[in-house]
Chain A
Amino acid sequence: MKSFWKFFESVKLAIVLFIILTLASVLGTLIPQGRSAAEYAARYGSLSGLFVKLQLTGLYHSAWYLALLFLFALNTIVCTLARLGPKWRRSFRPSPEVDDKSLQAMKIKGRARFFSPLPDAAERIKGDLASRHYRVKTSGEGGRLAILAQKRRLGWFGSDAVHVGLLIILAGGVISGLTSRRANLELRVGQTADVPHALFQVRLDRFETEYYPQGGVKDWKSTITVFENGAPVLTRVVEVNRPLTYKRFSFYQTSYGWDWENPKLEIVVKKPVDPSYSKTLSLKVGERLAVEDPDFTHLSVSRFVPDFVIGEGNEIQTRSTEPDNPAAQVEVWKGEERVYSGWTFAKFPDFGEGHKVGQASLSFVLKNYEAPQYSVLEAAKDPGVTFIWLGCIFVTAGFFLAFYWPPREIRVVLEEAQGKTEAVLGGFASKSREDFQAEFDTLVESLRRTT
Chain B
Amino acid sequence: MTEATLFTITFVLYILSAFVYLASLFAKKEKWAGSGLVLAAAGLVVHTAALILRTVVSHHAPFTNMYESLSFLAWASVLALIVLDRKFRIPRVAPYVMLIVVGLVALASSPLMPKEVTPLVPALQSYWLWLHVSVTLLGEAFFAVAFIASLLYLRADTEEKKQKMDAVSYRAVAVGFPLFTLGGLVFGMVWAYKAWGTYWSWDPKEVWSLITWFVFALYLHTRIVMGWKGKRSALIVIIGFLAALFTYFGVNYILSGLHSYA
Binding site for B on A (CB under 8 A): 11-12, 14-15, 18-19, 21-22, 25-26, 28-29, 33, 60, 173, 182, 212, 214, 216-220, 239-243, 250, 252-254, 378, 380, 382, 385, 388-389, 392, 395-396, 399-400, 403
Contact = CB atoms under 8 A, between A and B. Distances in A.
Contacts of B215: 18, 22
Contacts of A25: 207, 210-211, 214
A29 B257 CA distance: 10
A399 B119 contact: no
A26 to B, nearest CB: 6
B49 interface: no
Interface in B180-231: 181-182, 186, 189-190, 193-200, 202, 204, 207-208, 210-211, 214-215, 217-218, 221-222, 225-226
12 contacts: A11-B221, A18-B218, A18-B221, A25-B211, A25-B214, A28-B202, A28-B207, A182-B198, A241-B195, A380-B197, A400-B178, A403-B178
B122 A250 contact: no
B197 A241 contact: no
B112 interface: no
Contacts of B211: 22, 25-26
B27 interface: no
B121 interface: yes
Contacts of A388: 189, 199
A42 B255 CA distance: 18
Contact of B197 (A19, A220, A252, A403): A252
Contact of A14 (B189, B199, B204, B221): B221
Contacts of A395: 181, 186
A396 B119 contact: no
Given A378-B197, A380-B198, 15 more contacts: A14-B221, A15-B226, A22-B211, A25-B207, A212-B119, A216-B121, A219-B122, A219-B125, A241-B126, A241-B194, A380-B197, A392-B190, A395-B186, A399-B178, A400-B178
Contacts of B200: 173
Contacts of B122: 217-220, 239-241, 253
Counting chain B residues whose Cβ lies within 8 A of the other chain, the interface size class is 35 or more
The 8 closest A-B pairs by CB, nearest first: A240-B122, A399-B178, A252-B197, A241-B126, A18-B218, A212-B119, A60-B202, A22-B214
A81 to B, nearest CB: 15
A18 B217 contact: yes
Contact of A15 (B118, B126, B204, B221): B221
Contacts, number: 97
B214 A218 contact: no
Given A15-B222, A380-B198, A396-B181, A29 B207 contact: yes
Interface in B116-142: 118-119, 121-123, 125-126, 128
Contacts of B177: 399
Contacts of B178: 396, 399-400, 403
Given A29-B208, A403-B178, A216 B119 contact: yes
Given A25-B210, A396-B181, A182 B197 contact: yes
Nearest to A59: B202
Contacts of B214: 18, 21-22, 25
A211 to B, nearest CB: 9
Interface string B226-262: 1000000000000000000000000100010000000
A127 to B, nearest CB: 32
B84 interface: no
A25 B218 CA distance: 15
Contacts of B218: 15, 18-19, 22
A241 B123 contact: yes
Contact of A382 (B128, B174, B195, B198): B198
Most chain A CB atoms below 10 A, which of B190, B199, B204, B215: B199
A187 to B, nearest CB: 16
Contacts of A18: 214-215, 217-218, 221
A252 B255 contact: no
B174 A240 contact: no
Contacts of A28: 202, 207
Contacts of B128: 241
A392 B186 contact: yes
B202 A11 contact: no
Nearest to B196: A252
